[in-house]
Amino acid sequence: MSPNLSAVRNELPAVQASVYLNTGSYGPLSRAAATAIEGENRQQLTAGRLTGMGESGQSLGAALRGGFARIMGCDPDEVALTHHTTDGMNIATWGIQYRPGDEIVTNSWEHPGGLLPVYAVARRFNLKVRVVSLDKDEDEETLLAKFERAINSRTRLLSVAHVSWKTGAVLPIDRLAELVHCHGGLIAVDGAQSGGAMRLDMRSSKADFYSIPGQKWLCGPEGIGALYVNRERLGDLLQTYVGYPSLRDGGAYDETGIFLPPDGARRYEVGTTYRPAMAGMWNGIQWLESLGLEWVYERTQEITRYTRAALSTVPSVRQVHTPAHAGLTSFTIDGISPAAVVDRLAEDNILIRSVPDPDLVRVSSHFFNSEADIDRLREGIEGL
Ligand SMILES: Cc1ncc(COP(=O)(O)O)c(C=O)c1O
């Protein structure tokens, strides 16, 4: 049986304080996550941090890797805990051993979280970056043909977001992966707008690396996220940063300079992580699982379809056409700038955002949004 939507909304108090349509920037914190954060903080304050050392700290880490693995459809040993999407994209982008003459392919829709690591490694190692210029409303074949022209035998990495933060388009990452693999390169996927918003299945996906945040579509705390590393690629992805958690058996190093990583993706974890965020995220994922992850994804599809249908009834709204979607919908409104739309709707407590290049209004609709939220959005736009 599907969960009751108003009961679900009760577990996300922030979504009752406004018409909350900006999960793509910051998701609402779930009560489950907040309660665990508070509990862990209280424990640290009253009993001290040492009580969480050793086994209990490690088992929280292991449980959380397991939770993220279920979100991404992979095995727990293919998950490294990170702090946010950008962290994971940096680990993936910096970890590749570049050779002189190598190239990186990316595109004009990337968020700085994925793009800047590319620019930084290119500067450091003198690599060529090819930026594929994407247009809104273009079909998948046109988009693939553009990437096909940019990818060649020198391409070492393709860095691409699964869901564009600008247009909401879902990029065909498996076909892109095939393309780059056939030239001997690797693909790092920015999952900031997909992790928790749509079903992911790394077991069948061809992605090599996939980075997601906890605080957006998973309604978790800030400061925690996850990076999937396909176990076949562990040998290709060097550890750029290392520390105690990146060692086998918690201490496999000696004074000759030898250190041994653990078997899985845990090797990319470096130091002490904020335990309240870990506890909050773990409880937050368990809450989502109690609702049913399939329900979460299907409800997100349903409410996003409703959003798109509602906006299409407003004659002045020009939606970006995307054949597939997660939870983002982008559009323009005749005669008023995206920034002005955002400001005017905020006056009515309707929270959305605008994005640059192309200048668009962006609405995030997630499983907890009600049809009434979307009706308020449509009425707000009609009233502009
Ligand atoms: C596509 C994309 N990538 C990366 C980021 C940065 O996310 P984080 O703060 O988790 O690093 C965002 C944030 O909105 C995003 O939309």
CATH number, domain containing residue 336: 3.90.1150.10
Q: Domain for residue 6, yes or no? A: no
Same domain, 266 and 338: no
State the total domains in the chain. 2
Whether ligand 1 lies within 6 angstroms of the CB of 165 is answered as: yes
Rounded to whole angstroms, how far apart are CA atoms 55 and 164?
A: 40
Same domain, 82 and 188: yes
Whether ligand 1 lies within 6 angstroms of the CB of 326 is answered as: no
Whether ligand 1 lies within 6 angstroms of the CB of 353 is answered as: no
Q: Domain for residue 198, yes or no? A: yes
Neighbours of 42 (CB within 10 A): 11
Structural domain of residue 258, as residue ranges? Answer: 39-289
Which residues, 6 or more positions from 340, have their beta carbon under 8 angstroms from its beta carbon?
none
Nearest CA to ligand 1 atom 12: 192
Count Cβ atoms within 10 A of the Cβ of residue 292 and give its class: 0-12 exposed, 13-18 middle, 19 or more buried: middle
Relative to the CA of 164, which ligand 1 atom is closest?
A: 1
Q: What is the pLDDT of residue 337?
A: 98
Q: Domain for residue 340, yes or no? A: yes
Q: How far are the Cα atoms of 17, 52, 76, 120, 253 from residue 262, in angstroms, in the given order?
A: 45, 22, 13, 28, 12
Q: Domain for residue 88, yes or no? A: yes
Same domain, 201 and 117: yes
Same domain, 279 and 363: no
The pTM is what?
0.98
Q: Domain for residue 30, yes or no? A: no
Q: Which of 247, 266, 289 is the last residue of a domain?
A: 289
Q: What is the pLDDT of residue 50?
A: 87
Q: What is the CATH number of the domain that holds 52?
A: 3.40.640.10
Nearest CA to ligand 1 atom 15: 192
- 164 and 193 Cβ atoms separated by less than 8 Å: yes
Tell me the residue ranges of DSSP E strands in the chain: 19-20, 79-82, 103-107, 128-132, 155-161, 186-190, 209-213, 225-229, 317-319, 328-333, 350-351, 353-355, 360-364
Going from the Cα of 292 to the center of ligand 1, the distance in angstroms, rounded, reads 25
Same domain, 360 and 229: no
Tens digit of pLDDT at every position of the chain (384 positions): 899 999 999 999 999 999 999 999 999 999 999 999 999 999 999 999 987 777 677 899 999 999 999 999 999 999 999 999 999 999 999 999 999 999 999 999 999 999 999 999 999 999 999 999 999 888 999 999 999 999 999 999 999 999 999 999 999 999 999 999 999 999 999 999 999 999 999 999 999 999 999 999 999 999 999 999 999 999 999 999 999 999 998 788 999 999 999 999 999 999 999 999 999 999 999 999 999 999 999 999 999 999 999 999 999 999 999 999 999 999 999 999 999 999 999 999 999 999 999 999 999 999 999 999 999 999 999 999
Q: Domain for residue 374, yes or no? A: yes
Rounded to whole angstroms, how far apart are CA atoms 168 and 239?
A: 32
Same domain, 85 and 110: yes
Residue type, 270: V
Q: Domain for residue 10, yes or no? A: no
Q: What is the pLDDT of residue 227?
A: 98
Q: At what angle do helices 55-72 and 275-291 cross, to 10 degrees?
A: 40
Q: Among all chains, which residue has been given the structure tokens 């003198």?
A: 126
Relative to the CA of 84, which ligand 1 atom is closest?
A: 10
Nearest CA to ligand 1 atom 14: 25
Nearest CA to ligand 1 atom 6: 113
Relative to the CA of 213, which ligand 1 atom is closest?
A: 10
Same domain, 110 and 249: yes
Relative to the CA of 215, which ligand 1 atom is closest?
A: 10
* 207-218: b (≥16 Cβ within 10 Å) or e: bbbbbbbbbbbb
Same domain, 171 and 120: yes
What is the four-CA torsion angle of 19, 20, 21, 22, rounded to 10 degrees?
A: 140
Same domain, 285 and 296: no
Q: Which of 236, 267, 289 is the last residue of a domain?
A: 289
Same domain, 136 and 267: yes
Mutate to test the pocket of ligand 1, among 82, 86, 162, 217 (most ligand atoms within 8 A of CB): 86
Which residues, 6 or more positions from 142, have their beta carbon under 8 angstroms from its beta carbon?
none
Rounded to whole angstroms, how far apart are CA atoms 108 and 110?
A: 6
Rounded to whole angstroms, how far apart are CA atoms 286 and 219?
A: 12
Q: What is the pLDDT of residue 57?
A: 73
Same domain, 197 and 319: no
Same domain, 298 and 183: no
Q: Which of 249, 268, 289 is the last residue of a domain?
A: 289
Q: Domain for residue 75, yes or no? A: yes
